[in-house]
Amino acid sequence: MRQVGRVGQVGRVGQVGRVGLVGRTSRRFAGFSLPALPGLPGLLALVALAAALAITSACSPAPPDERDYATKIAAARAAKDADFARGDDPIPASRHAEFLPLAYFAIDPDYNVPGTIKPIDDKTVYEMPTSTGANRKMRRVGSLEFTLKGQPLKLTAFNELGTDPSSLFVAFGDLTNATETYAAGRFMDLTRNTTGIYEVDFNRSYIPYCYYNPTYECPLPPSENRLKIPVRAGERMKKSN
């Protein structure tokens, strides 16, 4: 997004069990029969297996903590509100009461999924229309492919000419537009990396600034990026009273 008349960016913002050597024959203790333990070769194999399991357990990444994730998202939202409240850009001071705090869908970790980018070898400049009627010059970087709620989906990632080539811009629409979210769609920002694996986090998707301020020029999602599902995550419009 940018304000009309000036260049701006698209977005702001064990203990291992002990093995004892005992005889091959079973022993009896307190009326219970204990099975014979294996000889030395078998015991050594058990020790090796137990050690391997202990190492695997120690080196495996801990499962993500959904509470920690939700805390981080909530903190980022609060920081954005505070930033917007400090001035009149992008939200004019006269409209702070109308828009702040910003409205969001409930944080849902299921809307944060891994994705990969399939590169698009196309140097054609795409003239992306905007909210002001002007066009923004973009290039298609790749197809961002992911699975959301069990459904395989894809969105085209763009880079605007003249901006940091590592900055990826994803404008998308979905079936919540015009009823729950801004009619023109929402945005996600990604940073290109060498792994080709990306965090597709719709909880971080946001409404373009032209929703709050008509002096901003906001790109409109291309038809290929209009999802045929509702995406109830990220920023939404304020509910009418």
Domain boundaries in the chain? 27-59, 64-236
Is 207:90 a contact under the CB 8 Å cutoff? no
Give dist(CA 112, CA 64) in Å, integer: 12
pLDDT at 16: 37
- Confidence bin at 70 (pLDDT 50/70/90): very high
User: What percentage of the chain exceeds 90 in pLDDT?
Assistant: 70
Given a cut of 50, is residue 31 above it in pLDDT? no
Given a cut of 70, is residue 203 above it in pLDDT? yes
**Rounded mean pLDDT of 142-154?**
97
pLDDT at 14: 39
pLDDT in tens, 86-108: 999 999 999 999 999 999 999 99
Give dist(CA 9, CA 21) in Å, integer: 70
